[in-house]
Structure 1
Amino acid sequence: MSLRPRRARGLTLIEVVVALAVFALLGLMTWRATEHLTHARVLVGDELARWRTIALAAHRVGNELEQMAPAPLKLHDRGARTLTADNDSDAREGTLLSFLALAGRHDTPARSGFVQVDDRLEWWLWDADDMDTVPERVVLLDKVDSLRWRFLHRNAWRTEWPPQGSPTDALPEAIALELVLPDAGTLYRVFALR
């Protein structure tokens, strides 16, 4: 029996090319998966931030409505003089809901209100119950298609306040807020006042 030394055998060119192709394909798949995960993370983060903003806006509205004083609750039609803030060019899409809040500045009651201006939900603040002055405006939410208010009075929902025959300083039993958002659909929130 003769022992012949075995000849060292290496990889052929085809084997090297196939191995490189497999590694390139695995690298490409890993890169695409990482890109999709990063994109999904950004989308989820943006969606979470949007819902957080919506929740904070609803909380602000509820917090202000809880401090509503028994004084006239006013609905002002769009285009009313009381809506004029900085100039007359602001487009009004909705109705201003204004009310006297007990937690005003300097511990005095002040008028507060919510209105849709263009595609934004804004919170308007006056220093006192005088709506002839220019309010401070705070944007609570953007990308708002529409804003509607409804008022619960004697187990019936109404779109106008105060109802005929009721005192002007009467408060509804509850106020419903309806927000139509292009990215979140229609959201309802009911705030009990009594």
Structure 2
Amino acid sequence: MADTAGATRDRNAAASEDADLATETLKRRREVLSVLVRARADELDGALRALDPSPEFEVLRSPEFGLAMTRGRIGGGGAPFNLGEVTVTRTVVRLASGEVGYGHILGRDRERAHLVAVFDALWQSEATRAFVEDRVVAPVAARAAKEDRQVRVKTAATRVNFFTMVRGEN
């Protein structure tokens, strides 16, 4: 009976470790996708051309356009409201090794959505994950961070501080 309880504990511990690893992998994939969608088509195309051998894949869902409702909040904390619709492009590809990649981007750019899907699938493959991290994710993240800093500096230069003066009653 003790052997059965020990084996059950071992299986539960292994299952818990597997679930933790899956959660961490999913979290990292979301981070990678958030960087990939900020990549320019030429950055993605150049990296894909540098990959040897070129990956084989099939298109499961051709790039297609659609609309998505964007939501906003006044001051970041107010009640959400519908701001308006934006165009989006989505596509799905599957590598010959079986990994399925999804590309969803703002705007109407079939090529970029396709490349995002390809790199999503390549990132999921252990054989090409390091390549995607080093040749795509790191440089795009650095460029995006630099552009964000420039926007923040430019915005800070135009900031106006308003204050209210209260007059005392005489």
Q: Same-fold call, TM > 0.5?
A: no
User: Under TM normalisation by the shorter chain, which class is it?
Assistant: 0.3 to 0.5
Larger Rg: 1
TM-score (norm 1): 0.31
Higher relative contact order (CA 8 A, sep 6+): 2
Q: Going by fraction, where is helix more abundant, 1 or 2? A: 2
